[in-house]
Copies of this chain bind each other. A is one copy, B any other.
Amino acid sequence: MSTPHSRRGNTRQRIQDVALGLFSEQGYEKTSLREIAEELEVTKAALYYHFKTKEDIVISLFEDLRGPIDELITWAEAQPRTLATKQEVIRRYGASLRDAEPLFRFMQENQATVRDLAIGNTFKERMHTLFGLLREPDAELTDQVRCLTALFSIHAGMFAMQNLEGDPEEKRKAILEVATELVTAANPPNRRPARPDSAQTVSP
C-alpha cells in the first residue's frame, strides 16, 4: 500500500497536499522544497518532474479555487443586482472559503509573497470584481467600507476565530450573518433616505 510502487499515479496530488499544508503552516518562503520532498519521502528532483518551479506548485493550488469563484462571479453577473443577490453572493463565497480553508489561510498570511506571485494579481482582480458586485458605485463611502468589511470578515474571520471557543460551524454561521448584515446595511431598500442614523458624513 505504501511501497514506492503503490504510490504511483498520485504523487502530484500528494505534493500539492503536503505543500499546501506546509505553506499555510510555515509560510511560503520558509517552506523549502527539501522539506516538502522529505515529508513525501521522495527527492527534490521528483518535485520538479511534476512542477516546473516552486511557484508552479502554488499556482496549481490556486487553480482549484479559480473555478468555484469564477462560477460565483458568472452567476452573480447574470442575476438582477438586488440585495437578495448580494446576500446570496456572500453566502456562496463563504461556502467556497470553507472548502478551501488552508489555501485562504495561506493567502491571508502570505500576502506579501502572494502579491508578486503573478497568480496574486489574478486573485486580487477576482476580489475586486466581487467587491464590485456588492457595492453600488455611487454609494456613500461608509457603504463601500461596509461591503469591503463584509468580504474581509469572511476571509479573516475564519482564521482569527480559530482561537475562540465554540463550534466551528456555528462560528462560520455567525460570521456569515454579520457579513450579510453589513451588505444589507450598505444597500438600503429605498436608496434615497440614506440611513437617517448613519454617520454625520453627508447631508444637513
Chain multiplicity (copies): 4
Contact of A181 among B128, B174, B199 (CB under 8 A): B199
Interface size band for A: 35 or more
- Chain B residues lying within 8 Å of A197, measured Cβ to Cβ, are 200-203
Residues of B within 8 A of A156 (CB): 149, 152, 156
Residues of B within 8 A of A201 (CB): 170, 173-174, 177, 185, 195, 197
- Shortest distance between the CB of A165 and any CB in chain B (Å): 10
Q: List 7 A-B contacts (CB under 8 A).
A: A29-B30, A148-B153, A149-B153, A149-B178, A173-B199, A177-B198, A185-B200
Q: Enumerate chain A interface residues (CB-CB to B < 8 A).
A: 26-30, 108-113, 115-116, 128, 140-142, 144-146, 148-149, 152-153, 156-157, 160-161, 163-164, 166, 170-171, 173-175, 177-178, 181-182, 184-185, 195, 197-203
